[in-house]
């Protein structure tokens, strides 16, 4: 049986405890803010990043892992694994996936397997945990890749956005839209669909936005994969408590995991963003 190493990047938003429990290797991305470069999740927390944004008035930039760095990491990990399976932030959000593919070409066939999550945050994390399950069942890298890719369309990633400031600063919301959205207290619901972020609802008020997330989840309960459900947020603990209490009316608390958005993910959505993420069973 092949010894397969599972690798991801810091945008997959799993906890350190889950990384350790499932033996997942994590490659950090980088945040550039006010002329300084920080290692995501190591040198700066999401809370600290938001404080610095308020101080300097600039949106952080993120830096992906270049091909040469991927090649270096892959070479190091192949010293203890027979094969490498990598999955990180989706190709529609970053060049990281393509860089990993370029680096993989430097190794002989059957050594490096790179999957496109077409997702972000713990939407990647859900696929990672499935990859670990397949690994533990004895699948080799190629089999893991095939099975994970089959699950990609069934990941449900949806977030409520509290402030339009970060979407505006990042060029994802026009100035006029931000002004009217703020006046009307619009709190958009953003879903990941076919590898891209789309606005699916624009509730007025954050409580309605939270309940919209719950309605999406309730509609999927009959077909929801109950191995793992994530509530992932950027500085929104009280909202996590509310969503969890409501979800507990339908699903057991033991399968719900709270995770915090990494700096790279949080820089695009702003504080008090929160999502419910899960996989639905193929029909």
Burial class (CB in 10 A: 0-12, 13-18, 19+), 239: buried
pLDDT at 175: 37
Residue 130 contacts by C-beta under 8 Å, 6 or more apart in sequence? 147, 148, 151, 279
pLDDT at 167: 58
pTM metric for this prediction: 0.91
Q: What is the DSSP string of 28-80?
A: --EEEETTEEEEBTTTB-HHHHHHHHHHH----EEE---HHHHHHHHHHHTTT
SS3 158: strand
Read off the DSSP letter of residue 282: P
Q: Give the number of other CB atoms < 10 A from CB of residue 172.
A: 15
pLDDT, averaged in runs of 10, over the chain (283 residues): 93 94 92 87 84 82 88 96 97 92 96 97 97 98 98 96 63 40 68 87 90 97 96 95 96 95 82 95 84
- Residue 176: what pLDDT? 32
What is the spatial distance between Cα 43 and Cα 22, in angstroms, rounded to a whole number? 24
Residue 43 CA, distance from chain mean position: 19
What is the pLDDT at residue 241?
A: 97
pLDDT reported for residue 166: 58
**Do strands 229-234 and 256-260 pair parallel, antiparallel, or not at all (unpaired)?**
parallel
- Measured distance CA(91)–CA(76) in Å, rounded: 24
Domains in the chain with CATH codes:
4-152 (3.40.50.10170), 154-279 (3.30.1180.10)
């Amino acid at each position: 049986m092949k010894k397969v190493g599972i690798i991801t990047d810091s945008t997959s938003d799993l906890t350190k405890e889950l990384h350790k429990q499932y033996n997942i290797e994590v490659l950090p991305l980088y945040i550039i803010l006010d002329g300084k470069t920080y290692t995501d999740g190591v040198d700066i927390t999401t809370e600290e990043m938001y404080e610095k944004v308020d101080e300097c008035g600039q949106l952080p930039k993120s830096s992906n892992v270049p091909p040469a760095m991927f090649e270096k990491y892959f070479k190091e990990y192949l010293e203890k694994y027979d094969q490498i399976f990598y999955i990180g932030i989706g190709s529609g959000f970053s060049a990281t996936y393509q860089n990993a593919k370029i680096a993989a070409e430097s190794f002989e066939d059957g050594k490096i397997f790179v999957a496109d999550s077409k997702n972000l945050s713990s939407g990647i994390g859900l696929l990672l945990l499935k990859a670990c399950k397949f690994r533990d069942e004895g699948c080799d890298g190629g089999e893991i890749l095939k099975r994970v890719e089959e699950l990609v369309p069934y990941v449900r990633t949806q977030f409520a956005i509290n402030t339009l400031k970060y979407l505006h600063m990042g060029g994802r919301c026009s100035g006029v839209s931000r002004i009217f959205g703020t006046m009307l207290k619009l709190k958009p619901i953003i879903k990941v669909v076919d590898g891209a972020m789309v606005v699916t609802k624009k509730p007025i008020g954050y409580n309605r936005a939270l309940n919209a997330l719950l309605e999406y989840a309730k509609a999927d309960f009959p077909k929801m994969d109950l191995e793992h459900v994530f509530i992932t947020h950027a500085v929104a603990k009280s909202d996590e408590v509310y969503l969890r209490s409501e979800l507990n009316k339908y699903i057991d608390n033991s399968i719900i995991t709270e995770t915090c958005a990494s700096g790279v993910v949080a820089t695009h959505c702003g504080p008090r963003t929160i999502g419910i993420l899960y996989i639905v069973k193929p029909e």
